[in-house]
Homo-oligomer: A and B are copies of this chain.
């Protein structure tokens, strides 16, 4: 995949938020950088400000916390999705999470500074405000669903919900990471799976 093909894919994926005309796209792309995040390397780390957003052309990442020396996975993103310690990016404050590549990731990135420049560039400002709004709003809806599932569902129900939404993309993810994503221990998820299997039978 060459640079222009990658940009075309990125542009296509942005269309659910905003559509750039040619002039805008030229300026926008001047703020983009390509990078490779190799497997097990970190996109973000605690105590550090995450001043950038990435878009994964290929590869996937894992978001995790460290608590009492234990690594607790909170989220994943996959190809054609954004990657960032979003809260840190937004606030400019140090984040609390690790973001680690599960595979080699080909990324398109822009920094907070780039975004601020674009927000101050009359040619792009309006569209970037809208872009930022729509991304945040979209993200908010996902967060809302997730909080609701913690409030109203049991771990078993959350697991069944995850199965039913059938993100086959989760197939690749080790099960103990998924357990923490569901708010339980790997051992507990293993038991839930057995329970579910026996019930279905």
Which A residues fall within an 8 A CB radius of B? 65, 67, 72, 74, 86-87, 90-91, 96, 125-126, 129-130, 132-133, 136-137, 139-141, 143-148, 150-152, 180-181, 183
Contacts and interface: CB of A to CB of B under 8 A. Distances in A.
Contacts of A96: 148
A87 B133 contact: no
B147 A144 contact: no
Given A90-B140, A139-B140, A141-B87, A74 B180 contact: no
Given A74-B147, A125-B126, A140-B140, 9 more contacts: A67-B152, A74-B151, A74-B152, A90-B137, A132-B137, A139-B140, A147-B150, A151-B180, A151-B183
Nearest to A66: B152
A69 to B, nearest CB: 13
Given A132-B137, A140-B136, A72 B151 contact: yes
